[in-house]
Amino acid sequence: MKIGIGNDHSAVEMKKNISVYLKELGHEVINYGTDSSESCNYPVYGEKVAAAVQDGEVDCGVLICGTGVGISLAANKVRGIRAVVCSEPCSARLSKEHNNTNILAFGARIVGIEMAKMIVDAWLEAEFQGGRHADRVNMVMDIENRKGNAIE
């Protein structure tokens, strides 16, 4: 699988560790993040990975900032993206099974490297269950596609 990875300055080391781990698992990893510890803006990297997923350059994405929240919010502004921030494996697995998430995010200041690997494993090993979940994902995507926010 081809995985895009992005990060801000707070997550350079974790990004490096997770990139190596993903490669050890046999995945191709494309780096869209910074390799500098100088302060930078996480929305830039959230958007880069989300655009790569949207355009089909990569199959899915992993985003890391201090908490995972900001970078996932930025990614979710890109049409077709369902990014989730997780701090433990169960939510990561369920986000894929029930919500068909295409980007996983977590925080370098929140989880350690071993927990991050467990989160990644749970998310990558999970499969979308479809069925009633597909109906709900379609409802979420319909919200994105409406011109306004009013319920019809």
149 pLDDT more than 70 = no
Active-site annotation holds for 9: no
Average pLDDT, the chain: 95
**5: its two tokens:** 């990875």
Single out the catalytic residue among 40, 65, 86, 133: 65
**Which two three-digit tokens encode residue 46?**
């959230």
pLDDT at residue 148, rounded to an integer: 58
63 beta partners: 6, 105
pLDDT tens track for 66-101: 999 999 999 999 999 999 999 999 999 999 999 999
pLDDT digits (tens, 9 = 90+) for 94-127: 999 999 999 999 999 999 999 999 999 999 999 9
**Percentage, residues of the chain above pLDDT 70:** 96
**Whole-prediction pTM value?**
0.94
Q: Where are the domains of the chain?
A: 2-145
Fold of 2-145: Ribose 5-phosphate Isomerase B; Chain: A, (3.40.1400)
Tokens read off for 78: 């890109």
Q: How many angstroms separate the CA atoms of 11 and 90, rounded?
A: 22
Residue 65: active-site member: yes
